[in-house]
Structure 1
Amino acid sequence: MFEKILFIDRDGTLISEPKKSFQVDNFKKLIFEPNVITTLSILKKNHYKFVMITNQDGLGSKQFPLHKFNLVHNFMLDVFLSQGIKFKDILICPHTLQNNCICRKPQITMLKSWLKEGLLDKNNSYVIGDRQTDMELAKNMNITGIQYGKNISWNDIQKKLIKKNRTSSIFRQTKETKVHVELNLDNYKNSFIDTKIKFLDHMLEQIAIHSNIYLKIYSEGDWKTDDHHTVEDIGIVLGKALKQAIGNKLGINRFGFFTLPMDESIASCILDISGRPHVSFYATFKYQKIGDLSTEMIEHFFQSLSYSMNITIHLNAIGKNDHHIAESLFKAFGRSLKQAIIIKGNKLPTSKGML
């Protein structure tokens, strides 16, 4: 199983680096970087794991005895562990640059076990350090580097990593349909939607545009016979994909509500990412179909999405033109979803302690 790993430098990144000696060999020199513990605690909840990798020049020499290093280093680890932060591996090069060793960063010798095929999620793993050698290490590992320092704080890193990784990919196959949904909640680009039902494609595009998310939806199935299975299963898979991408819901706005017009029609959506599925739907259509989509399947789509995503949705619309009524409903849902998934902090938005 691929893992999201942060390969983190020690001195200058986790703890401050003394300006004169560069060696943290007594407790007076041990100073944790601002917000590092809080950030790592949050990133742990977002399924990141941690590996420490550090160059400790001359470790074990008379100038830098091992016992002095261990006293401070082990105390630092105990502080992290008291907050639930554990490093899966601690990699230390004790050599100086003049030793011309094979293990010193930015070389990857110490990391060979972590670079085995099928272990590392390279798209969502990072090297974090304060020096250019850390960025060179990231390049040698073929992953992204984040240079901690004056312009990037641990709070910045937290926001960047949580936001960047709200993605999902869900594939579902039954005897009736095959549906694949990929999405990204935070990196909008032109979506790709091919459900074989053209009007449904148009409606799903409204969700993508107005919620400002990237959607890739592809389906195959018995749509030529009837659109029921395709619409239902796309609702199910899209709901699961949204639920997976939102993750543990830490910091999300949770609620979304929007009313908008489309010519003579007006639609409203109120939603709650509550962990409880419920749909209230009020809209009347004159005809059985809009293009190649059955109008009765519009409500069923939102029901399927609600129950797979575990959210509450209230939708209502009035108007004279069926196309306008339908499109305004999907636009209103998209706008409400955009409000609800915004991250505004790091707390769970509920008094119950769970959603």
Structure 2
Amino acid sequence: MKKQQKKSPMKVAFLDRDGTLIFEPPVTEQVNGPEQLRILPGVVEGLKKLIAEGFALVMVTNQDGLGSRSYPQKNFDAVQGALFKRLKKEGVQFYRIFICPHFPKEKCACRKPKVGLLKGFLKKASVDRGASIVVGDHDSDEEFAKNIGIRFYRMETNGAFPRFASLKRETKETAILAECNLDGTGAFSISTGLRFFDHMLEQFSKHSLIDLRIKAKGDLDIDDHHTIEDVGLALGETLKNALGERRGIKRYGFLLPMDDVLVECAVDLGGRPYLAFNASFKREKVGDLPTEMVEHFFRSVAETLKANIHINVKYGTNEHHKIEAIFKAFAKAMKDAVALDPRRKNELPTTKGVL
């Protein structure tokens, strides 16, 4: 008798509903009919992207008093049905739905941030908690994520769906995990085996407000070239994937001073890779980072991000300051370029119709 093969752990995106996927009326905090249904900006594209990246979609929602006079079951069912009908047309379907129908005063065991709703599911399903995510708009969603040991992405209530992406890149020379959230706060977790390089990537995350997680293992015993190059390729591709169709972005993005140094960085997220890099270094290394690899890193980013990146060190004498100012200037340029333009809404920033 053949042994049954164990199923691989699945990546799950646990998603709140009201205020995260659909507009939540500020006063009633309740959507009472299909005529009130509004899918929030970026939700459809974001869900399609999650599915493409291998996530199973699981909705976890508190619905106060569902089934009571104040919130008839038929009202909820009509909205839920209309939502799923629209999403199905876009190729989006949910794997499981979990609903808590209780009021807070009932002190049930299933209302978020408690985990009663999911106890059975988490026990039976093989969930990769390290790769799974929770997306929501309230503190209770964040606490819920902590309680089940899964990473949390916050969005503003009734705001745009967060633009995030993850990527695994493996070759004979390197193994890289890269994750980013364009709508983050500048939180980072970086480990490449090159401490000064880590520090520069941390500066990029902090000053761009792009949450960034990079774990890289490379053949540093041979050389640092492969690690730095492949991190650049992975970072560029992850940023590109998070941008999606690039709808609504400002597209262009800086002069940045740092003590004795002035750096100019311009970015165009226009879909065409190009790097112009004008900087010279007198030292072979700063920390454990070869200075010749700075240009190569940005060339790798430009290639997979499909962006024009122009970097000019106008003047400066301190090599550490030069490199740090370059990364900070790139961060500021990216912060501007990926920002959503409220006047542009869901339009592409081009007359060509595609970026």
TM-score (norm 2): 0.64
Bigger radius of gyration among the two: 1
Secondary structure class of the residue paired with 2:354: coil
What corresponds to 1:353 in structure 2? 353
What corresponds to 1:267 in structure 2? 263
Assess, with a 3 A threshold, how the Cα gap between structure 1 residues 183 and 117 changes in structure 2: closer, same or farther: same
1:234-253 matched pairs, under 5 angstroms: 234-253=231-250
Matched, 1:333 2:330: yes
Distance in 2 (CA, whole Å) between partners of 1:177 and 1:314 is 28
Kept after mapping to 1: 8 A contact 2:173/2:219: yes
1:111-126 matched pairs, under 5 angstroms: 117=125, 123-124=133-134
Distance in 2 (CA, whole Å) between partners of 1:241 and 1:31 is 36
CA deviations on 1:99-140 (whole Å, 9 max, x unpaired) are xxxxxx99x99xx99997368997346699xxxxxx9xx99x
Distance in 1 (CA, whole Å) between partners of 2:164 and 2:180 is 8
Matched, 1:166 2:176: no
Kept after mapping to 2: 8 A contact 1:199/1:292: yes
Secondary structure class of the residue paired with 1:217: strand
What corresponds to 1:44 in structure 2? 44
Assess, with a 3 A threshold, how the Cα gap between structure 1 residues 354 and 115 changes in structure 2: closer, same or farther: farther
Assess, with a 3 A threshold, how the Cα gap between structure 1 residues 233 and 80 changes in structure 2: closer, same or farther: closer
Matched, 1:300 2:310: no
Structure 1 gap ranges (5+): 20-28, 59-63, 94-104, 129-134, 145-154
Assess, with a 3 A threshold, how the Cα gap between structure 1 residues 246 and 235 changes in structure 2: closer, same or farther: same
Distance in 2 (CA, whole Å) between partners of 1:276 and 1:45 is 22
Distance in 2 (CA, whole Å) between partners of 1:354 and 1:42 is 17
- Give 1:173 deviation, angstroms: 2.1
Structure 2 gap ranges (5+): 1-9, 49-56, 100-110, 151-155
CA deviations on 1:280-319 (whole Å, 9 max, x unpaired) are 1111222332232222111100000111111110111133
Matched, 1:157 2:154: no
- Give 1:262 deviation, angstroms: 1.8
Assess, with a 3 A threshold, how the Cα gap between structure 1 residues 218 and 31 changes in structure 2: closer, same or farther: closer
Kept after mapping to 1: 8 A contact 2:273/2:307: yes
Kept after mapping to 1: 8 A contact 2:14/2:133: no
Give the number of equivalent residue pairs: 302
**Residue 32 of structure 1, aligned match among 35, 41, 46:** 35
- Give 1:270 deviation, angstroms: 0.5
Secondary structure class of the residue paired with 1:255: coil
Kept after mapping to 2: 8 A contact 1:15/1:32: no
Equivalent AA in structure 1 for residue 265 of structure 2 = C
1:21-100 matched pairs, under 5 angstroms: 32-33=35-36, 36-37=37-38, 39=40, 42-47=42-47, 84=89
Distance in 2 (CA, whole Å) between partners of 1:219 and 1:279 is 24
Assess, with a 3 A threshold, how the Cα gap between structure 1 residues 116 and 328 changes in structure 2: closer, same or farther: same
Assess, with a 3 A threshold, how the Cα gap between structure 1 residues 193 and 125 changes in structure 2: closer, same or farther: closer
Kept after mapping to 1: 8 A contact 2:186/2:207: no
Equivalent AA in structure 2 for residue 268 of structure 1 = E
Kept after mapping to 2: 8 A contact 1:43/1:158: no
Distance in 2 (CA, whole Å) between partners of 1:224 and 1:89 is 44
- Give 1:195 deviation, angstroms: 1.9
Matched, 1:344 2:354: no
- Give 1:82 deviation, angstroms: 7.8
